[in-house]
Chains A and B, each alone.
Chain A
Amino acid sequence: MVVAEEDKVFKALADASRRQLLDRLRTKGGLTLGELCQKHDMSRQAVTKHLGLLEAANLVVTVKQGREKLHYLNPVPIHEIYMRWIGKFERSQVQALFNLKQALHQNDYDKS
């Protein structure tokens, strides 16, 4: 990934509302603008603007279906970043730490 593309990805991710939109699309792909505006406090205009930035960063891709535009999460740029900074020898250690952290968090949830 060249620097300009990478900048777009990091900038797009550096916003909680945009990450929330990505989370929605991770749970269910193919949502329309209307569906993405539901359950958000943002205006339709704000959601449209965020989606534009996510699309420019190639984190969201769209297909036209009739009059609607369907939105999908595209995790490929995030995977490229992952592959760049996490070498193949470190991958299992990083995964182990991630699993440990998840297990410990799970414990906290169980207690509360």
Chain B
Amino acid sequence: MTNPEFIYTTYIRTTPEKVWNAITNPEFTRQYWGGYENVSDWKPGSKWAHVANDAARSVMVGGKVEESVPLKRLVLTWASPSNEADVSRVTFEIEAIEDMVRLNVIHGDFKPGSDMKEKISGGWPRVLSSLKSLLETGAALKVMSCKTCASAGAAKLEAAA
């Protein structure tokens, strides 16, 4: 990433396999990420989408898988389907450190004047605390009140009108 804007880090008492699975397995993601599923075959060049687990299956964000090294590193482009020009980049880095796993989420390479930049700050800490809680205690945290989810909901209503 040439221009990292936000870096979020959490240490989780778990294994790299579980963290990788938590990011890439839709059944796992919806448990801690506000009910949304991450869907892709996670091969470089493939599409990926962050999808609501309901009948409409509305896509909140999505993009392309740029790099995929299972259990270690995943690089995705990140854009809302309602504004695909406002694309940015997210890197997940997974590293085992003694009996813990360090997960870095780096979000950057935003376009000038990006709306997404405003929306995502605040969202990632919620998602990462919820993921940590799920992996360490088996209980996720409520994350649905985040701004991004609210604005995605608003976009859905507009599209329906």
**A-side interface residues toward B, CB under 8 Å?**
5, 29-30, 58, 61, 63, 70, 72, 74-76, 78-80, 83, 88, 91
Q: Which of A61, A63, A70, A79 contacts B125 (CB 8 A)?
A: A79
CB-defined contacts of A83 to chain B, threshold 8 Å: 129, 133, 141
CB-defined contacts of A91 to chain B, threshold 8 Å: 145
Q: Which of A5, A29, A58, A79 is packed against the most chain B CB atoms within 10 Å?
A: A79
CB-defined contacts of B106 to chain A, threshold 8 Å: 63
Q: Is B126 an interface residue (CB 8 A)?
A: yes
B101 to chain A, nearest CB (A): 13
Instruction: Give the number of residues in B that approach A within 8 Å (Cβ atoms).
Output: 20
Q: Which of B7, B8, B10 is packed against the most chain A CB atoms within 10 Å?
A: B7
CB-defined contacts of B126 to chain A, threshold 8 Å: 79
Given A61-B104, A88-B142; A79-B7 close (CB under 8 Å): no
Q: Give a binary string over B95-139; 1 marks a CB under 8 Å from any A CB, 0 the rest.
A: 000000000101000000000000000001110110011000000
Give chain A's interface secondary structure class.
mixed
Query: B132 near A80 (CB under 8 angstroms)?
Result: yes
Query: A76 near B7 (CB under 8 angstroms)?
Result: no
Query: A58 near B7 (CB under 8 angstroms)?
Result: no
Given A58-B11, A61-B9, A63-B4; A76-B142 close (CB under 8 Å): no
Given A83-B133, A88-B142; A76-B5 close (CB under 8 Å): no
Query: A61 near B7 (CB under 8 angstroms)?
Result: yes
Given A83-B129, A83-B133, A83-B141; A74-B7 close (CB under 8 Å): yes
Query: B129 near A63 (CB under 8 angstroms)?
Result: no
CB-defined contacts of B128 to chain A, threshold 8 Å: 76, 79
